[in-house]
A = this chain, B = another copy of it.
Amino acid sequence: MPHRAKTMTDIAKECGVSQSTVSLVLSNNPRISEDTRSKVLAAIQRTGYRPNIHARGLATNASRVFSVVLPDLENVFAEEYFGTLLGGIYAGASAAGYKVVVDVANMKFIRTQEYMDLLNSRRADGMIFLGSSLYDKYLVSLEGGGLRVMLVDNYFLDAKLSYVASDHKAAGRLAAEHLLKLGHRRIGLITGTNVQTAQDFLEAAEQTLKAAGIPVEDTPWADGRFSEAKACEAAGSLLAARPDLTAIIAGNDKMALGVMRCAREKGIRVPDDLSVIGMDNVRSAGAASPGLTTVDPHLNNVGLFVARKMLAWMHGEFETCAETLPVDLVVRQSTARPRG
């Protein structure tokens, strides 16, 4: 370790002023003379002084830190969905002088109620939960209580927890409409479960198909569990039971890729024999599969929006937040066409 870090008092001595004057300069208080201000600022420059973050936090009872909580999945940091959201959040937070700490909602985190720690200990001013599920009942206990907790792409019907989510209902509808417009009438659905937005997506798609006069029994569903492997399996059983399907709607990009892999393995051409349309497009999905039509939630913007919303929340601009962000259909090529 070097010598002791410089403190306000050091700066004050150097300038022959009081420590509180230095503090006032640092907080841009207008009632400081230009003379003093520049003298102090010069000394700060010269000495490389930086305010001690802990002292400041202690005095202000705030940390200017957001915690981003990821689900306990294998290699979750390497997943594009979470990484893209995290990047957006980082950008938004960073622009406002906030830091981002990462956390994983593993068993220890939940059992020891680390989520309470983070806020009680003032390590973070707010928490952002990515990839939470409806099984995460502990989240409901965070309702009210004045804690700044926000869910992303999930929410609870029976709790007023703040959230920001892509418009999954619109996504489901857009996906279905697109396929209908192309003439498809036999459409399978593969989505995740136990996330409210996934259910919204599913319902909207089903609803749209039903409204178009397609009987519910012609619209089979299977659980893709948000994973490529599971979706591949799911697509397999769907296609086996219903070889008449001409299209499949998948709840996210990974599941869409799973469907496409399944098709490939079965020798079904995509998108000639089958059309696939997926949600949560992150660039790799589209790039890897030019034939895939997607509904793009603009994840990067979602992240940015989440950060901004958190900041506004800090400023007390609202009590609870329930925001839904627009999504767009992205047709990469004139691909999907109904079979014979």
What distance in Å separates the Cβ of A71 from its nearest Cβ neighbour in chain B?
A: 12
Among B79, B86, B101, B288, contact of A99 (Cβ-Cβ < 8 Å): B101
Q: A53 and B87: CB pair below 8 A?
A: no
Among B2, B55, B121, B146, contact of A50 (Cβ-Cβ < 8 Å): B121
Q: B104 and A50: CB pair below 8 A?
A: no
Among B51, B58, B123, B282, contact of A78 (Cβ-Cβ < 8 Å): B282
The answer to the question of A100 belonging to the interface, with a C-beta cut-off of 8 Å to chain B, is yes
Chain B residues near A78: list those with CB within 8 A. 80, 83-84, 87, 282
Chain B residues near A104: list those with CB within 8 A. 90, 94
Bound state CA distance, A84 and B79, in angstroms?
9
The answer to the question of A75 belonging to the interface, with a C-beta cut-off of 8 Å to chain B, is yes
Q: A2 and B102: CB pair below 8 A?
A: no
Interface size on A, residues (CB 8 A): 50
Q: B48 and A58: CB pair below 8 A?
A: no
The answer to the question of A1 belonging to the interface, with a C-beta cut-off of 8 Å to chain B, is yes
The answer to the question of A122 belonging to the interface, with a C-beta cut-off of 8 Å to chain B, is yes
Q: B48 and A52: CB pair below 8 A?
A: no
Given contacts A52-B122, A53-B123, A99-B123, 9 further A-B contacts (CB under 8 A): A2-B147, A48-B113, A51-B121, A52-B121, A54-B122, A75-B283, A78-B80, A102-B102, A288-B288
Bound state CA distance, A123 and B53, in angstroms?
6
What distance in Å separates the Cβ of A118 from its nearest Cβ neighbour in chain B?
A: 9
What distance in Å separates the Cβ of A144 from its nearest Cβ neighbour in chain B?
A: 9
Q: List 19 A-B contacts (CB under 8 A).
A: A2-B146, A2-B147, A5-B122, A48-B120, A53-B54, A53-B123, A54-B54, A54-B55, A54-B63, A55-B58, A58-B58, A75-B283, A77-B84, A78-B80, A78-B83, A90-B102, A99-B103, A102-B102, A284-B284
Q: B90 and A50: CB pair below 8 A?
A: no
User: A145 — nearest CB in chain B belongs to which residue?
Assistant: B2
What distance in Å separates the Cβ of A26 from its nearest Cβ neighbour in chain B?
A: 12
User: A68 — nearest CB in chain B belongs to which residue?
Assistant: B102
What distance in Å separates the Cβ of A69 from its nearest Cβ neighbour in chain B?
A: 12
**Chain A, 234-286, CB within 8 A of any chain B CB:** 282-284
Q: B77 and A117: CB pair below 8 A?
A: no
Bound state CA distance, A101 and B86, in angstroms?
12
Interface core residue of A48, A49, A57, A84 (most chain B CB under 10 Å): A57
Chain B residues near A75: list those with CB within 8 A. 83-84, 87, 283, 300
Chain B residues near A2: list those with CB within 8 A. 145-147
Chain B residues near A5: list those with CB within 8 A. 120, 122
User: A316 — nearest CB in chain B belongs to which residue?
Assistant: B1
The answer to the question of A140 belonging to the interface, with a C-beta cut-off of 8 Å to chain B, is no
The answer to the question of A65 belonging to the interface, with a C-beta cut-off of 8 Å to chain B, is yes
**Chain A, 13-58, CB within 8 A of any chain B CB:** 48-58
The answer to the question of A116 belonging to the interface, with a C-beta cut-off of 8 Å to chain B, is yes
The answer to the question of A76 belonging to the interface, with a C-beta cut-off of 8 Å to chain B, is yes
Chain B residues near A48: list those with CB within 8 A. 113, 116, 120
User: A84 — nearest CB in chain B belongs to which residue?
Assistant: B78
Bound state CA distance, A53 and B67, in angstroms?
14
